[in-house]
Amino acid sequence: MNEFNYMTFKSVSYAMKVETALKKYDFRYKIIPVPRSISSSCGLCIRFYKEDMEKLITIINNNNLQYENIYTDC
């Protein structure tokens, strides 16, 4: 079973804004290319531990950031 979820964005700039916020919170994540199982288009996503999803959503909402989707079964 996969221990990670993936958050995608409409553009690379959105991903970079989220990364900047996550660094302030010492959040466990990694910026990676979007896996082919999610999309064939190029772009970046954030890979994070499944147990950290609520914390990530809170950070996103508190900083008025945007994301496209969260993939849980990749």
Q: What is the pLDDT of residue 1?
A: 60
Higher pLDDT, 9 or 41: 9
Alpha helices in the chain (DSSP H): 12-24, 53-62
Q: Would you call 51 helix, strand, or coil by DSSP? A: helix
Provide the CATH number for the domain around residue 40. Answer: 3.30.70.120
Residues of the domain holding 63: 4-71
Share of the chain above pLDDT 90, in %: 80
20-44 residue pLDDT tens: 999 999 899 999 999 988 886 668 9
Tell me the Ramachandran region of residue 36: left when phi exceeds 0, alpha when psi lies from -120 to 50, beta otherwise: alpha
Nearest to 38 by CA among 2, 1, 71: 71
Q: What is the pLDDT of residue 39?
A: 80
Nearest to 73 by CA among 2, 12, 18: 2
Task: Please count the structural domains in the chain.
Answer: 1
Share of the chain above pLDDT 70, in %: 95
Q: What is the pLDDT of residue 37?
A: 86
